[in-house]
Every structure is written in C-alpha cells, then in structure tokens.
Structure 1
C-alpha cells in the first residue's frame, strides 16, 4: 500500500481501470447476481388496450347537434317526470307540492285576471332600473381597475370590503333613506350587484394578453387607441358574460325586496300566496321567473356571440 499523498503510477491506474470494468461486467444484465435481483422484482400490471372514449364523455370535444338536442330535452323532461310521479303518488301532500296541472291552472287564472302580467311588469321594470344602473357604474370602474394600476389601487381596497356586506341588510336603511317607494327597491338591487359586476369586469379586462398591448404600442398606437381598439373589443364578450351571471342575482334580490317593501311585483305575490297556502300560485310564479331568466340569458348569449364571434 502506498503512503497517503503519493499518486499512483500509470501502470497502477490502468490496472485499477481494468478491475472496475471487470466488476461492472460481473454485475451486467446477464450476470447471476443481476438475474437474482430481477427475480425479486414485482411484475408490472398488464393493461388492456385503451378503448376510444365516447364523444359524449370526451373532454371539450364537440358533440352532434342531435345529441345536444336530446340532452337539452332530457334536462327538462327528467325533473318534470319526477314532479309528476311525486304528485301522482302523493308522497308529499298536494297542499305543499301541487301537481303540474294544478300549477298550470293557477297560472292561467292569474294571467286571465291580469295580475300576473302587472306583477311581472313591475318586477322587470325594477330590474331594468336597478341592475341597469349597476351596469352603468360597474363597467367603467371595472375597466379602470383592470387597465390602470392606479385605478386598482384606488377602488379595489374599499370595494373588496363592502362587497361582503349582504344587500338584504341594507333594506331597513334604504327604507329610512329613500322611503318605501320604488327608490328603495332599486337601491337594494344596485347595492347587491354593482360590486360583483365591477370585480368580474376588472378580471376580464386584466385577462387581455399583454402581447396585444405591447404590439399595439410597437406599431405606434396611443393609449386611448389601445383602450378603444384592443382592450375594449377583447373584453366585451367577457363583460357580457359577467352581466349574464349577475342578472340572476338581481332576480333573487328583487324578490327579497318586494317581499319586504312592496305592494306589487312577483315577490309580493309570492308572499301573499304563502299566507293562504296557495302553493300552486307560488309554483306558477316560480316557473314564470325561470322562463324570464332563460329568455334574458339567451338574448345576452346571442348578443355575446354576435359581438365576439372569435371568443365563442
């Protein structure tokens, strides 16, 4: 053995290299020790050939128009059948769960008397005023928050706090400040939707790719041109989607406001029907609200698809 610190000579290095190569060869794939190691390995599970997934269950794969129509019809038929079965078997008392026929009769009677259309018009008018005012305020503020860091710093801290305050808690204050006329109900609708629509609009504007903005500046566009010709067209479909989501909240709030402070409207009619256990009228009014909501959503979706076809 050589003393520590003494380097091995050329012959000794070659001998050590040959010894290491022989050791690796003895442990190679064909060696006895390697074969013994492989015997201890657990066999991998065998997997059959993957079956092609159904087009209905494929991720984000378009389906045929026939399949889409069938599924759409089933989405209405299945709940309707469940409703018919429950009412026919009387598992639930008709006093609490009226059947489809009794509900249609109640709705027809309210339509013939004219009170259904009067209440529906009053409710729609309040939504147009309250939610329309919220859109007029929230869209410009949301664009400012999503476009400019100064706008985000100015509006976001305060709005982040007040958006958690329930709008229904402001009903007593609205009655004190604005009275019990239309202004209080419009104010509740405004407070209940303006903050959420603002943040959703800001998120849509912030999602505009930075590459589009940088390329616009590179091509010589000015700030107002970037805002009008790049940010706004790119954000408009998403802004309409935000309106689609928040108008559903407006329907919820208008019913609450009409129950508390109103003499007309669908919410008030629901409250009066509850006092006399006229559940068939309540179900009829709920169906009318659902139909109105679907129609409004379809109109907004058509508007979105026409304005921003590239985003569909």
Structure 2
C-alpha cells in the first residue's frame, strides 16, 4: 500500500502532459491614421479647395465638349461647340423667344409640381406619424408609384385635351407619389424619445405634430422636394415635346425640325441653369429653416 501511495503521489507531482496554449501574438503597431487631407472621410475641405473642385467640375465637361466638337471637323451642324451654343442663346434672348418659352415652362412647373407638393406633404405627414395612416395609404401609393407618369399621357390628352390642364396633371402625377413616400420617410426619422418627452410634459397630439414632428422633419421634407423638382423638369419637357405652342420643350422640337442643333444646346443649358437655381434656393431654405436640427 505504501508503494502504491508513493507512486500516486509522484504522478500527482509530475507536470501535466497537456501542452499549455501559446501566448497570443501581439498585433503589429500602427501609426495613428492621418486626417487624409482633401479626401478625408466626412471631413469638409477648405473653402479654396471647395471652390477649386467646383470650377473643375464645370470646366472639364465644357472643355471636353469643345474638344469633341473640334474633333468632328466639317460637321458644325452635328455637334456645335459651347461658343456656338452661347451665341445661339444670345440671339434667342434678343428676339424675346427665350424669355417667353422659359416663363411658360416655369409657370407649368409651379402649377403642377406646386399642387403635388401641397397634396403630398400632408399625406406624407399622415403616413409617417400614424401607423393607421400608413396602413391605409401606403399600399395604394406604393403601387401607383411604379406606373410611369409618361404612360398617362394618352389618357390625359383624351380626358383633358391638348391644353394646359393635361400638362399640369402630368407634372402632378410625376411628383405626387414619390414625394408622398419620401415625406413619410422623413417624418419617421423623428426620434421616438422626443415624442414621448412631449407627451410626458403634457403636450397634446396636435401640439406634438406642430411643435415636434413637423419642425424636426422639415429639412428632410425640403430635400424630398428638391429631388422631385428635378423629375418635374424632366416631365414638363416631355409634355411640351408632345403638344405645345410655347415652352422650352416646344423650342427644342422646333429647332430640331430646322436642324438648329446650336439652339437645342442653348435651350438645354437654360434648363440646367434654371434647375440649378431652384435647387440652390431650396437648399438655402433648408439650411435656414432647419438650423435647430
């Protein structure tokens, strides 16, 4: 018994045969990441760099346009250069055609798109604030938004004729469904904690809508209007291409009939400038009314 006990004691004293785990390897040391300079992630560039990039973004396409028009030698009627387009635009402006057509197009956008905003924003607030409103409206709006507005042109002509009502209705359909859904998404971004605190402090439902939900979601709703305004400009040109006696789209069709390519480019430049002006105005409005967000 003494020998067995001594053997057991000696085995217990021996180290275990199971190998110990190797110590973890230390990760390689890295230098602290630098800011990245001009291309740092989510870091705004300096004012001179921003202006330089803006100028480059405009100058490079214009220079490329001019070079391409020079490469296509002997066909000035096929791709006129920027200088030819500007000269054609000045000629149209002197005759008064450009101002008349531009105002006709702007007036149609203000009517059709403005009506779409007036109707879609309240419905979007209803869908984004109340689950019952979302369940009631979102299936229908989500279904109809996949129908292209241009597909309604034959029906609008049959129902409303070739005059202004059909063009205004087309712009309404082009912006209404998307602006409704995007407004609802902006309203859903309001933190639930703000709404709970408002109720805790004694606010009623109408006060929560007017003083919490709408002010917080207003910048997002303005961004939705900015996005859909571009779509309205696309469809107003389409409407004027079909049947119109004035407007920038009408001027494009008329220039195409007489092979006046320089005038087409001039009208396209005018459309781009008007759209950019509207976008800048909406952006400034968003920045001023949404400072508290």
TM-score, structure 2 normalization: 0.91
Distance in 1, Cα, partners of 2:284 & 2:161: 38
Instruction: Answer yes or no: is 1:70 the counterpart of 2:62.
Output: no
In structure 2, which of residues 16, 23, 33 is the aligned counterpart of residue 22 of structure 1?
Answer: 16
Counterpart position of 1:60: 42
Distance in 1, Cα, partners of 2:74 & 2:216: 51
Q: Is the contact made by 1:84 and 1:99 (CA closer than 8 Å) also made in structure 2?
A: yes
Which residue in 2 is equivalent to 1:136? 118
Larger radius of gyration: 1
Partner-residue secondary structure (3-state), 1:214: helix
- Aligned twin of 1:103: 85
Aligned partner of 2:193 in structure 1 is: 211
Note the C-alpha offset of 1:297: 0.6
Per the TM alignment, residue 88 of structure 1 is displaced from its structure 2 partner at its CA by 2.3
Say how many residue pairs are matched. 289
Unpaired runs of 5+ in structure 1? 1-9
Instruction: Select which of 179, 204, 207 maps to 1:197.
Output: 179
Alignment of 1:123-272 (within 5 A): 123-272=105-254
Which structure 2 segments of 5+ residues have no match? none
**Bigger Cα displacement from structure 2, 158-167 vs 126-135:** 158-167
1:84 alignment counterpart: 66
Alpha-carbon contact 1:185-1:261 (below 8 Å) kept: no
Deviations 1:86-105 (A, max 9, x none): 12232693222101111111
Structure 1's 13 and 77: CA in aligned 2 closer, same or farther, altered over 3 A? farther
CA contact (8 A) 1:102 1:280 kept: yes
Determine the structure 1 residue equivalent to 2:284.
302
Runs of 4 or more above 3 Å deviation: 10-19, 43-51
Q: Deviations over 1:23-77 (max 9, x none)?
A: 24xx358xxxx8xxx9xxxx99978756624321111012111111110111111
1:84, 1:100 within 8 Å by CA — same for their partners in 2? yes
* Cα RMSD, aligned residues only: 2.6
Change (3 A) 1:306 1:22: same
CA distance in 2, matches of 1:135, 1:11: 95
SS state at 2:166 partner: helix
For the 8 Å contact 1:185–1:254, the answer to whether it is kept is: yes
